[in-house]
Amino acid sequence: MKREIKFDNLRGFAMLLIVFCHFLQQNQFIDDFAFNYTYKFIYLFHLPLLVFVSGYLSKATPESGVKAFRNILIPYFIFEAMWMAYLYLLQGRIPVNPFFLPEVGLWYLLSLYFWRLFLPTATRIKYVFGLSILLALYVGVLNFTAGFLSISRTVCFFPIFLLGFYFHQYRD
C-alpha cells in the first residue's frame, strides 16, 4: 500500500485544529475577541476537512464492512468502555445508554464505521451524492438532541465523506 503523505499530513492538521478548537472551547480564551473569531473561523472547516480526508482514504470493497468492524467499531467499544470507567472513577456515574450515545469525540469513530460500512452499497446507487445532500438537509432541520448512535452527524457529514471518496476516484 502506497501512503499519500500529503493526505496523511492533511488529516493530522485537521486533528490538530480539532484539538485546538476544543482547547479554546474548554478554557476562558473563547471570551476573548480574537480567540472567539479564530475559533469560529477554524470551526467552519476543521471537521469537514477531516471527514473529506477520511472519505478520500476509504475504499469500497466487499470486505469493507469486516475491516470497518475490526479497525473502527472494536476500538470504539474499547474507548467507550474506557471513558465509562473514567467517569465512574472520577465522578461516580455511568453514562445513560452507554455505547448508544457516544461520549465526547467518540461519535466520529461511530460515524466513520457507518460511512465505511455503507460505502460499497452507496457507490452502487445512482445519484447517491445528490440524494445524500438532500437527506443531510432534511436531517439538518430535524431536532436530534439525543445523539443516538450519532445518526444526525453521520447523515449530515456523509456527503462530505462521499466527496472525498469520489475525489480520490477522479484523481486516479
Contact 88, 94 (CB under 8 A): yes
Distance CA 11, CA 52 (A): 9
What are the cell numbers at 62?
466487499
The pLDDT score that the predictor gives to residue 76 is: 95
The pLDDT score that the predictor gives to residue 160 is: 97
Does this model's pTM top 0.85? My answer is: yes
Q: Are residues 8 and 64 located together in one domain of the fold?
A: no
> How far apart are the two ends of the chain, measured CA to CA in Å?
15
What is the chain's mean pLDDT, rounded?
Answer: 89
Which of the 8 DSSP states describes residue 60? -
- Grouping H, G, I as helix, E, B as strand and the rest as coil, residue 112 is helix
The pLDDT score that the predictor gives to residue 110 is: 94
The answer on pLDDT for 172 being more than 70 is no
The answer on pLDDT for 144 being more than 80 is no
Give the pLDDT confidence of 80-138 residue by residue, as tens digits. Answer: 999 999 999 999 888 888 888 887 789 999 999 999 999 999 999 999 999 999 999 99
Q: Are residues 107 and 126 located together in one domain of the fold?
A: yes
Q: Are residues 66 and 144 located together in one domain of the fold?
A: yes
The pLDDT score that the predictor gives to residue 24 is: 77
Q: Are residues 52 and 65 located together in one domain of the fold?
A: no
Look up the domain containing 155 and give its range.
60-172
pLDDT cut 70: percent of the chain above it: 95
DSSP structure string for 2-40:
---HHHHHHHHHHHHHHHHHHHHHHSGGGGSHHHHHHHH
- Mean pLDDT across the stretch 7-27? 88
29 pLDDT tier (thresholds 50, 70, 90):
low
**The most confident of 19-23, 40-44, 88-92, 126-130, by mean pLDDT:** 126-130
Contact 164, 55 (CB under 8 A): yes
Q: Are residues 67 and 123 located together in one domain of the fold?
A: yes
How many CB atoms are closer than 10 A to CB 37?
10
Which of 27, 81, 50 minimizes the C-alpha distance to 153? 50
- Mean pLDDT across the stretch 65-72? 95
pLDDT cut 90: percent of the chain above it: 60
Q: Are residues 91 and 51 located together in one domain of the fold?
A: no
Which of 57, 73, 94 is the C-terminal boundary of a domain? 57
The pLDDT score that the predictor gives to residue 93 is: 87
Domain count for the chain: 2
CA-to-CA separations, 168 to 54, 56, 78, 151, in angstroms, rounded: 11, 5, 31, 25
